[in-house]
Amino acid sequence: MDPEDLDRDPHVQFERWFADARAGGVAAPEQMALATASRAGIPSVRMVLLKGHDERGFVFFTNRSSRKGRELGENPHGAGAFYWEPPHRQVRIEGKVETISEDESSAYFQTRPRESRVSAWASPQSEPLRSRDELERLVADAERRFVDVEDVPLPPFWGGYRIVPSVIEFWQGQASRLHDRVRYERDGGSWHRERLAP
């Protein structure tokens, strides 16, 4: 893989590789490892689902009072990683993270199954629970709250984020372990490409 083989726009290149992963039967190619860090720089990582991508960045949704939401409130930078096997490819992204509008969040929220919308209201994400029973009671309480509500609304503490990348790296694994790596780095309004050692 040569840098010149890839599109000049890393967003276009990502879409190509993402489509290849889907077409190749990768289970849940939208799974993304998301890394955030506290104000003190202590990192944490977890899996989220990519729910949108365009030239503005990579979108995911979560409870804003969760650990990742709190960390992004303190330190609005993040990194994401996708790994697809086959075709033995990885994409890494790094950049600032911004909240998306309430209208965008609400539009996505309404596409979720009703049970998932109720669960978003019920779960105090990342907070300690005494038992599974406590969680199930919270869900039952939320079900009663919305029993006559057809369109469960967006919770005020839930919504989307967009990673606005300054770096996007494409990695193609090789049997020799002399893997191909190409990094795109934003340089003003354009992208600079370069090959990296494996």
Question: What CATH number should be reported for the domain holding residue 164?
Answer: 2.30.110.10
Q: pLDDT per residue over 67-123, tens digit each?
A: 999 999 999 999 999 999 999 999 999 999 999 999 999 999 999 999 999 999 999
73 and 123 inside one domain: no
35 and 85 inside one domain: yes
Q: pLDDT per residue over 137-196, tens digit each?
A: 999 999 999 999 999 999 999 999 999 999 999 999 998 899 999 999 999 889 999 999
Range of the domain at 173: 3-106+156-196
Task: Answer yes or no: 177 catalytic.
Answer: yes
What's the chain's average pLDDT? Answer: 97
Q: What is the pTM of this model?
A: 0.95
> Which entry of 177, 183, 186, 193 is annotated as an active-site residue?
177
Q: Is the peptide bond before 43 cis (omega within 30 degrees of 0)?
A: no
Helix or strand run (H / E) with residue 11: helix 10-23
172 and 140 inside one domain: no
Q: pLDDT per residue over 114-150, tens digit each?
A: 999 999 999 999 999 999 999 999 999 999 999 999 9
> Looking at residue 37, what is its pLDDT?
98
Q: pLDDT per residue over 16-47, tens digit each?
A: 999 999 999 999 999 999 999 999 999 999 99
94 and 164 inside one domain: yes
Dist. CA 135–CA 115, nearest whole Å: 14
Taking Cα atoms as reference points, which of 113, 37, 122, 47 lies closest to residue 80?
47
> Looking at residue 179, what is its pLDDT?
97
Q: Work out how many domains the chain is built from and give that number.
A: 2
Exposed/middle/buried for 77, CB within 10 Å: 0-12, 13-18, 19+?
middle
Dist. CA 91–CA 12, nearest whole Å: 13
102 and 123 inside one domain: no
141 and 160 inside one domain: no
With H, G, I as helix, E, B as strand and everything else as coil, classify residue 90.
strand
> Looking at residue 75, what is its pLDDT?
97
22 and 39 inside one domain: yes
